[in-house]
């Protein structure tokens, strides 16, 4: 499990930026994702602010969702990776 969590921690390689930048691109991307990835993207996006650790937010969000049974462990990495791709659009 620790190796799995470590992989999630590295899938979001960007610094937090204001959530308003690139919002339209993010929404279009997010809406095309499977449900689990959409939920991850939504939960992480609202927490992104200047000075926060985006990797830690992604990691803790996904871990919490797996533990609560909201997403399956076997698909969590792929969902998080897809969500991260859309979250990157907030940076632009």
Amino acid 90: pLDDT: 87
Per the prediction, the chain carries an average pLDDT of: 83
pLDDT in tens, 12-47: 444 444 445 589 999 999 999 999 999 999 999 999
Question: At a CB cut-off of 8 Å and minimum separation 6, what does 31 contact?
Answer: 38
What is the average pLDDT across 57-66? Answer: 97
Name the pLDDT band for 75 (thresholds 50, 70, 90). very high
Write b or e for each residue in 63-74: b if 16 or more Cβ atoms lie within 10 A of its Cβ, otherwise e.
bebbeeeebeee
Radius of gyration of the chain (CA): 12
Beta strands (DSSP E) in the chain are: none
Q: What is the pTM of this model?
A: 0.76
What number of other Cβ atoms are within 10 A of residue 61's Cβ? Answer: 20
């Amino acid at each position: 499990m620790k190796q799995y969590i470590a992989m999630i921690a590295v899938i979001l390689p960007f610094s937090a930026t204001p959530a308003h930048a690139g919002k339209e691109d993010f929404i279009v991307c997010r809406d095309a994702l499977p449900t689990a990835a959409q939920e991850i993207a939504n939960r992480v996006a609202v927490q992104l602010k200047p000075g926060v650790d985006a990797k830690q937010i992604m990691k803790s969000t996904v871990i919490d969702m797996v533990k609560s049974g909201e997403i399956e462990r076997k698909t969590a990495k792929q969902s998080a990776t897809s969500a991260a791709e859309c979250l990157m659009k907030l940076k632009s």
